[in-house]
Amino acid sequence: MQKVIVSNKAAKLLRSQFLWVYGSEIKNPPQNVDFVKIYDSSNRFLAIGYINIKSKIAIRVLSFKDEEINKEFIKKRLLQAYSFKKDISQAIRLIHSEGDLLPGIFIDKFNNYFSIIFTTAGSLLLKEILMEALEELFEIEGYLIRFDEKYSKIEGIEPFIEKKGNIEEIFFVEDEIKYKVNLLEGQKSGFYLDQRRNRRVASNYIKRGDRALDLFSNSGGFGLYFAKKGAKVTLVDISKGAIEQAKKNFELNNLEGEFVVANCFDYLRELRDKKEEFDFINIDPPSFAKSKREKAGALRGFKDLMVNSLKVVKDGGFVAIYSCSFNISLNDLEDISLKAAIDTKSRLIKLEIMSADNDHTKLLSMEQTDYLKGLLFKVHKS
């Protein structure tokens, strides 16, 4: 295993359990993608990780112990995660990248089916022993392995997909709600498992007969919870495939809903102009700010959604808004919500602060692992 020396700044961060080292902080970087032992300028051991000098985040830490990176190491990580997460649901985020100290790897487990996403060149060094470890620990009926195009330019690796079994029709149950998932077509790793707890929280504010609007509905995660509570739900998504999947999930549960393929911004404006009213509006967009450069535009988008939602929600109704981008903070969400309230002469009562469910491990030393934020408000207009 190659040895690298890092700057005093990087060493200080590593000692605080930060898991990244930037390329500019490495004094003798190897040019190949490989495992490395990391030392400070006084030749004191700091950590073991993998390096890819082509990436801005050049080193990602695997362990703060001087240990072998082998199949037994991977099994230890998998078992540590699974022992805590196994009772959360039939479908769980088994490995949450840095959160579970396997950076660059995301694994979702849907009963005996697995969605495995690699996001870094270094994480691919672990691919073979990871698959061996998974097969030894779990019964695997099928899997999808992906390295997506959005990572290929950053990491210098060609995108690829590997699959086994019938991964286009996977079934699981969450809170007595049945879901059918297509790993090939679903967003993210196939399904928004991170919103599990928030679906429960939001549905607590639904009463039978309420009108609920589920914007950016994807395959119907929130909408199903609302319909099960007796709400009349309108689900809106720009993806025809997502809406078709939502319809199938509603049929699977003998529930009814209104399904709309549309741009959510435009559809919300149409509802505003028609003076339609809803008791509950749920706003769960995809990531608007994948980088800091996109933050200003993302905040404008969030404010537009919030302003028009406040115009459409009934007096005394509820609005929930979420961001799955690390670059949008909880304070940012609160700020745009307050500005929207001022613009619409509304008063917002903050009822819930939400984040990803506990299988999406939030490592205290890595705020990047705590990416999902949500706020739920009661709205007064007088």
What are the residue boundaries of the structural domains of the chain, listed by start? Answer: 2-63, 71-164, 192-380
Give 127's pLDDT tier (boundaries 50, 70, 90): very high
Q: pLDDT tens digits for 271-315?
A: 999 999 999 999 999 877 567 777 888 889 999 999 999 999 999
Residue 345: what residue type? K
Residues of the chain with pLDDT > 90, as a percent, come to 89
DSSP characters over 318-365: EEEEEE--TTS-HHHHHHHHHHHHHHTT-EEEEEEEE---TTS---TT
CATH code reported for the domain at 71-164: 3.30.750.80
Q: What is the mean pLDDT of the chain?
A: 95
Give 319's pLDDT tier (boundaries 50, 70, 90): very high
CATH architecture of residue range(s) 2-63: Roll (2.30)
Annotation: CATH topology of 192-380: Rossmann fold (3.40.50)
Q: Is 313 in contact with 283 (CB distance < 8 Å)?
A: no
CA–CA gap between residue 271 and residue 346 (Å, rounded): 18
SS3 content of the chain, % helix, strand, coil (to 5): 35, 30, 35
Q: pLDDT tens digits for 219-267?
A: 999 999 999 999 999 999 999 999 999 999 999 999 999 999 999 999 9
Q: pLDDT tens digits for 130-188?
A: 999 999 999 999 999 999 888 888 888 899 999 999 999 999 999 999 999 999 876 66
CA–CA gap between residue 349 and residue 372 (Å, rounded): 21
Q: What is the model's pTM?
A: 0.93
Q: Is 268 in contact with 305 (CB distance < 8 Å)?
A: yes
